[in-house]
Amino acid sequence: MHTYKLFANRDNVVFSVNRSDGWAIPLTDPANTDYAEFKKLVAEGAELQDADGNVMSADAAQEFIRGLP
């Protein structure tokens, strides 16, 4: 299973997620199949790291993905 890390710009606005295999998934295209899989896997318990590399709690990860389109 992949792990995921949020990627933010200089203003600390998260705009993509980096998957452990090196792929970047934009958070601006809900029709992207990788984006849909990312949301599904995090909902099922995949590891999500914040932009600083800290592992988010399951509750924090769930809250983050609930706020996405």
H/E run at residue 4: strand 4-8
CA-based torsion, 59, 46, 66, 9: positive or negative: positive
Q: Where are the domains of the chain?
A: 4-66
Rounded-to-integer distance, Cα 28 and Cα 45, Å: 22
Rounded-to-integer distance, Cα 32 and Cα 30, Å: 5
The pLDDT tens digits of the residues spanning 54-64 come to 999 999 999 99
> For tokens 């706020």, what's the residue?
67
> What confidence score (pLDDT) does residue 29 get?
85
Angle between helical axes of 33-43 and 58-66 (0-180°, round to 10): 140
Task: Kindly report the pTM of this predicted structure.
Answer: 0.89
With a cut of 80, say whether residue 1 has pLDDT above it: no
